[in-house]
Amino acid sequence: MSQPHLTFRDATAADIPALLALIQSAYRGEASRKGWTTEADLVEGERIDEPGLLEKISEPNGVVMVVTVEGTDDVVSCCEFLHRSGASSSSTTTETTTEKQQQVGYFGLFAVDPNRQAGGIGRRVLEHAEREAARRWGVTTMEMTVIAARADIIAWYERRGYAQSTTEPTRPFPHEMVARMRGGRVLRDDLHFVVLEKAL
């Protein structure tokens, strides 16, 4: 089956209803079980609410990307990528000392319509986000967090060049943030994030 032609654009506030529906359908509730990214057995409730999504769309150092099938208004995927300046590293020669700051990007809010998963859209969206982060901000390293219990998703990213960070391998799971979401409830006590990164 041929892959659809995709259109990528920056999200606006007008996209919020469609994005909320897409993100929820990809991760939470029974509808998400159609795809392989579901978190239905790990977390209940909203994954993000309208104020939280508007904040991300309005972030000056980030982009929420809307992905549609070319020639239609069908939103089939979305993601965000942020620019974060990393730690500075110094190098010394016999003549000068120079300081180079690593340009770090963060990739998240990634969702693909469950009815279209496993068809190559996710890979294309990730590659587009990597290119755009490098083009817009000179990002040299992209990082992300994935729930450690989702070994299959981690393996998917590893096949695309990501590896667990050696400086910060894990991060805590945001239990308090989940509790603030409508219907939010963590279903397992052992959840935490694995931090993945890739040199662009």
Say what the pLDDT of residue 84 is. 87
Say what the pLDDT of residue 118 is. 86
Low-confidence residues in the chain, pLDDT < 50: 88-99
Q: Identify whether the C-beta of residue 169 lies closer than 8 Å to the C-beta of residue 23.
A: no
Q: Identify whether the C-beta of residue 183 lies closer than 8 Å to the C-beta of residue 45.
A: yes
Say what the pLDDT of residue 91 is. 41
Q: What fold characterizes domain 6-199?
A: Aminopeptidase (3.40.630)
Q: Where are the alpha helices (DSSP H) in the chain?
A: 16-27, 50-58, 121-137, 151-158, 175-180
Please enumerate in sequence order all residues whose Cβ is within 8 A of that of 150, keeping only pairs 6 or more positions apart, or say none.
39
Query: For 198, left (φ over 0), alpha (ψ -120 to 50), or beta?
Result: beta
Strands 141-147, 97-112: parallel, antiparallel or unpaired by DSSP? parallel
> What are the residue boundaries of the structural domains of the chain, listed by start?
6-199
Say what the pLDDT of residue 90 is. 41
| Three-class secondary structure of residue 129 per DSSP | helix
Say what the pLDDT of residue 100 is. 53
Say what the pLDDT of residue 82 is. 96
Cα distances (Å, whole numbers) of residue 89 to 58, 102, 132, 138, 165: 31, 8, 24, 17, 17
Say what the pLDDT of residue 154 is. 98
